[in-house]
Amino acid sequence: MDTFQTDGLIFEVTDLGAVDDPTVVLLHGFPQDRTAWDEVGQSLADHGFRVLIPNLRGYSPEACPRPVSRYGLPRLVADVIALLDAAEVDSAHLVGHDWGGALVWTMRRTHPYRLRTATIVSTPHPQALTWGMVRTGQALRSWYMLALALPAVPEHVLTRHLARFLKRSGLSEDRANRYQQRMKREGVARGAVNWYRRMLFEQLRPPKHPRTSSQRAVPTVYIYGRDDPFFSVAVMRKTAEVARGVEVRELRGGHWLPESEPEALLHSIVRQVSNPSTD
């Protein structure tokens, strides 16, 4: 499959491997796209998995709605469920980086039966992040989240200065330039920052997710880079305390692990999705 549709939108998706193999879904973050997972995705397919890598809402050219209200967390989660339904997959191994990780944290709570395992890369558990905002200097590291929620200005900045910011944060020059160039496509810069604008609204008025009667504990691992400039080590390690039963693994590297440390990240993901206890 090359695309799937939901909520009146058309999403691009990369589909690797055989359709009858166990499915792994790889979710990208900001300001990436599905190509962030190119190396890891192909390697997972070579390991015997079907791999689905979508361009998320705001990043697929025909899935960039203008209203901020259409970027709420329940809609973003519903997009992933729609992908699984379109692929005729009852449950999958979900892996998310950055914003994609935030979706996986949510889905392991709201849709546990659709997840065989959960792997979150870089993004700490929401409770750990909240703790860090109050107890550590995490707020200073997260300044860009507030900046991106401003009206109008972020779109201008992303199309002109994003690459410089990304290179300073440890992303390769080629990748940084690619992501900045992509922001110049119609609606993409607006769609990307609308995630942050809606996030601020939902901090004040948390969304209501469908209730689940399931108490299933999804096997979960949290992977972070010890030199991540956006999250403090204290916050990332706090995840082990607030999210009981979650295995925490530290890797060499910074924030952009799918692109900068694909082999180490692949090894850690394969350990998770190949565990017989997750079948």
Give the side-chain half-sphere CA count within 13 A for 275. Answer: 17
CA 21 to chain centre: 23
201's tokens: 């609204």
Query: Structural domain boundaries of the chain?
Result: 3-136+214-278
Residue 2 has pLDDT above 80, yes or no: yes
Residue 209 has pLDDT above 90, yes or no: no
Amino acid at 226: R
Write the CATH number of the domain with boundaries 3-136+214-278. 3.40.50.1820
User: What pLDDT is recorded for position 208?
Assistant: 63
Residue 276 has pLDDT above 70, yes or no: no
Residue 210 has pLDDT above 70, yes or no: no
0.75 cut: is pTM over it? yes
Residue 278 has pLDDT above 60, yes or no: no
Amino acid at 94: L
pLDDT for 123-169, tens place per residue?
Answer: 999 999 889 887 787 877 877 777 888 888 899 999 999 999 999 99
The CB density around residue 160, as the number of other CB atoms within 10 Å, is 12
Task: Kindly report the three-state secondary structure assignment for every residue of 150-207.
Answer: CCCHHHHHHHHHHHHHHHHCCCCHHHHHHHHHHCCCCCHHHHHHHHHHHHHHHHHCCC
pLDDT for 217-270, tens place per residue?
Answer: 899 999 999 999 999 989 998 999 999 889 999 999 999 999 999 999 999 999
- % of residues, the chain, pLDDT over 90: 77
List the single range of 106-120, 137-151, 181-195 with lowest mean pLDDT: 137-151
Residue 21 has pLDDT above 80, yes or no: yes
H/E run at residue 148: helix 143-148
Q: What is the mean pLDDT of residues 74-86?
A: 98
Left, alpha or beta for 88 (phi > 0: left; psi -120 to 50: alpha)? left
81, 111 Cβ separation under 8 angstroms: yes
Contacting residues for 134 by C-beta, under 8 A, at least 6 apart: none
117, 247 Cβ separation under 8 angstroms: no
Better-scored residue on pLDDT, 95 or 198: 95
Among 3, 5, 202, smallest CA distance to 106 is for: 202
